[in-house]
């Protein structure tokens, strides 16, 4: 593809390169640039791609930048290099999202489950579905890769290209706050965007909660979205619904407690799962699901509302929703001869509280919680998560969860500062922590292991050390 074909929508201000330059690929890392590539000089938190132009070994490449480079090379100046990268990635792969329904799922918690539930329900309704997200990327149920929650723009559009080529009708994609802020989805207009909820997270990157909230809200405009499905029980969700109405963006609210177009009533739950009746704009669906917890009622209701917006009837939804399976690492239940072991990805205060509230309601005897907090991330949530664990648990076991370059003992101290008067133990080694919790199990107890879900590593000083909560639970707890 020639450069001038990619520049059509990129907003180039200055072109000091041959517009007939044949583009082989798009790159954002100087060490990967080869002849025929465009190198996008992105400025990050700690680095600036312009500073690495001199390291490019290729002889024939074009730099895409926001200022004239000091290095002697062909270049294009654009107003916003990140947006240009996304737009040119879409153009390079032939605007693949335009051939499918693109469902964006954003929010602090529930993105992964909701995206998987959307794909599951639509698959049973006759669609060929794709998934892009934290748990991996799937085409019609087949895992085809794994990367960031929302992949880099070039990879994202390449995935969409492959999905379209394999006959995918609809894609459910997690869109993170980082992806919105970094404009990864520029050039892809969501047919439906789902907002799950907003609670504290990522304050190591976003300076304040207000900034984090503003980024999430900025996505719900006619520029990015054709239609919205929004949690009406969430305060930020209600703001999004009001803003959508002012902007003329069609929006549907869903919830359990506030007035909404889609709502659930007669919600009951036990160790066999949840049951409820969904009213989807006066189309009724009765659901019996093996999924656990009120949070999964929200996730299912969001997914059902999306499917209903795409024309799936209440009768079809009753059948499809009742067959939805949980995502590995999202309230996954293992059992041994003493009780239940719940493994979950919850790593935010709200996520941990939802998890433990549900586990507490289903536990016959003691609730034992194993958890930690990630290193080099928001320190402010650590004590808050300690308080939540202490409130719901009979015994808390505080340990490591991706300490990165931080001392695990310091992270644990931050957590336990919020646990005064509670019964807790500390083990910097996560395997020892899980093994201890499992050894403490008595008949009727529940052990919750929170924070990693299906992750198969610990991030320690730049190394991904193999580790799995599932493997440790099976080994030390004889879980099945």
Q: What is the pLDDT of residue 70?
A: 87
| Residue 259 pLDDT level (bands cut at 50, 70, 90) | very high
Contacts of 74 (CB under 8 A, 6+ apart): 16, 17, 18, 21, 61, 62, 63
Whose CA is closest to 407, among 461, 326, 333?
Answer: 461
- Residue 215, both tokens: 């980024």
Give pLDDT tens digits for 145-200: 998 889 999 999 999 999 999 999 999 999 999 999 999 999 999 999 999 999 97
- Residue 189, both tokens: 């207009």
Whether the pLDDT of residue 449 is over 90: the answer is yes
Q: Contacts by 262-268 with C-beta closer than 8 Å and gap 24+?
A: 262/229, 262/301, 262/304, 262/305, 262/308, 263/301, 264/297, 264/301, 267/294, 267/297
Using CA atoms, how far apart are residues 171 and 17, in angstroms rounded to an integer?
Answer: 36
Contacts of 242 (CB under 8 A, 6+ apart): none
Whether the pLDDT of residue 206 is over 90: the answer is no
Q: What is the pLDDT of residue 236?
A: 97
Q: What is the pLDDT of residue 204?
A: 73
Give pLDDT tens digits for 467-478: 999 999 999 989
Q: What is the pLDDT of residue 134?
A: 93
Residue with tokens 């990165």, as numbered in its chain: 404
- Residue 441, both tokens: 């199990």
Whether the pLDDT of residue 205 is over 80: the answer is no
Give pLDDT tens digits for 354-367: 999 999 999 999 99
CA distances from 262 to 230, 242, 398, 480 (A): 10, 17, 39, 37
Rounded to the nearest integer, the mean pLDDT of the chain is: 95
Q: Are strands 74-78 and 62-65 parallel, antiparallel or unpaired?
A: parallel
Using CA atoms, how far apart are residues 100 and 165, in angstroms rounded to an integer?
Answer: 11
Mean pLDDT of 35-57: 90
Q: What is the pLDDT of residue 372?
A: 98
Contacts of 329 (CB under 8 A, 6+ apart): 135, 343, 344, 345, 452, 453, 454, 455, 469, 470
Can you say whether the dihedral through the CA atoms of 464, 467, 468, 469 is positive or negative?
negative
| Residue 44 pLDDT level (bands cut at 50, 70, 90) | confident
Ramachandran angles phi, psi of 73, nearest 5°? -160, 165
- Residue 397, both tokens: 């076991």
HSE, CB side, 13 Å, CA atoms: give it for residue 386.
Answer: 23
- CA angle, residues 226, 158, 227, in degrees to nearest 5: 10
- Residue 93, both tokens: 């792969």
Q: What is the pLDDT of residue 458?
A: 97
Using CA atoms, how far apart are residues 99 and 42, in angstroms rounded to an integer?
Answer: 29
Using CA atoms, how far apart are residues 19 and 16, in angstroms rounded to an integer?
Answer: 9
| Residue 39 pLDDT level (bands cut at 50, 70, 90) | very high
Q: What is the pLDDT of residue 389?
A: 98
Which segments of 199-272 are extended strands (E)? 228-231, 251-255, 262-270
- CA angle, residues 414, 417, 423, in degrees to nearest 5: 120
pTM confidence score: 0.93
Are 179 and 118 in contact by the 8 Å Cβ rule? The answer is no
Percent share of the chain, pLDDT over 70: 100
- Residue 96, both tokens: 């693949």
Whether the pLDDT of residue 47 is over 90: the answer is no
Using CA atoms, how far apart are residues 449 and 454, in angstroms rounded to an integer?
Answer: 11
Give pLDDT tens digits for 323-369: 999 999 999 999 999 999 999 999 999 999 999 999 999 999 999 99
Give pLDDT tens digits for 267-308: 999 878 999 999 999 999 999 999 999 999 999 999 999 999
Whether the pLDDT of residue 226 is over 90: the answer is yes
How far the first Cα of the chain sits from its last, in Å, is 53
| Residue 201 pLDDT level (bands cut at 50, 70, 90) | confident
Give pLDDT tens digits for 394-430: 999 999 999 999 999 999 999 999 999 999 999 999 9
CB neighbourhood size of 279 (10 A):
16
Give pLDDT tens digits for 301-318: 999 999 999 999 999 999
């Amino acid at each position: 593809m020639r450069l001038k074909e990619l520049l059509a929508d990129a907003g180039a201000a200055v072109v000091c390169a041959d517009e007939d330059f044949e583009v082989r690929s798009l790159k954002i890392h100087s060490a990967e640039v080869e002849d025929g590539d465009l190198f996008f000089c992105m400025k990050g938190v700690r680095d600036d791609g312009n500073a690495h132009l001199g390291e490019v070994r290729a002889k024939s490449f074009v730099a895409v930048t926001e200022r004239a480079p000091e290095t002697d090379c062909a270049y294009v100046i654009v107003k916003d290099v990140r947006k240009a990268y996304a737009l040119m990635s879409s153009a390079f792969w032939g605007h693949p999202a335009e051939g499918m329904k693109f469902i964006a799922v954003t929010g602090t918690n529930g993105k992964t489950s909701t995206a998987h539930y959307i794909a599951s329900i639509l698959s049973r309704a006759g669609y060929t579905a794709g998934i892009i997200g934290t748990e991996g990327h799937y085409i019609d149920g087949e895992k085809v890769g794994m990367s960031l929650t929302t992949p880099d723009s070039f990879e994202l559009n390449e995935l969409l290209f492959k999905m379209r080529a394999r006959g995918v009708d609809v894609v459910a994609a997690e869109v993170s706050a980082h992806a919105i802020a970094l404009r990864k989805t520029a050039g892809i207009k969501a047919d439906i965007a789902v907002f799950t909820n907003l609670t504290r997270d990522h304050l190591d990157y976003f300076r304040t909660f207000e900034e984090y909230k503003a980024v999430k809200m900025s996505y719900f405009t006619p520029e990015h979205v054709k239609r919205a499905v929004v949690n009406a029980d969430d305060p930020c969700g209600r703001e999004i619904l009001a803003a959508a109405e002012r902007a003329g963006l069609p929006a549907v609210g869903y919830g359990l407690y506030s007035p909404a177009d889609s709502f659930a009533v007669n919600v009951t739950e036990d160790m066999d799962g949840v049951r409820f009746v969904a009213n989807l704009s006066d189309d009724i669906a009765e659901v019996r699901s093996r999924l656990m917890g009120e949070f999964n009622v929200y996730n299912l209701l969001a997914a059902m509302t999306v499917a209903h917006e795409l024309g799936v009837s209440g009768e079809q939804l009753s059948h499809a929703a009742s067959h939805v399976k949980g995502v590995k690492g999202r309230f996954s239940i293992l059992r041994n001869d003493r009780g239940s072991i719940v493994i979950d990805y919850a790593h935010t205060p709200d996520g941990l509280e939802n998890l433990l509230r549900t586990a507490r309601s289903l536990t016959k005897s003691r609730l034992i919680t194993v958890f930690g907090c990630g290193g080099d991330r928001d320190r402010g949530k650590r004590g808050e998560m300690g308080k939540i664990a202490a409130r719901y648990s009979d015994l808390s076991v505080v340990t490591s969860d991706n300490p990165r370059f931080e001392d695990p003992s310091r992270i644990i101290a931050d957590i336990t500062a919020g646990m005064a008067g509670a019964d807790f133990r500390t083990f910097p080694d996560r395997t020892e922590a899980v093994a201890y919790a499992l050894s403490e199990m008595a008949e009727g107890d529940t052990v919750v292991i929170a924070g990693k879900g299906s992750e198969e590593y610990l991030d320690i000083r730049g190394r991904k050390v193999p580790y799995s909560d599932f493997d440790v639970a099976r080994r030390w707890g004889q879980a099945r």
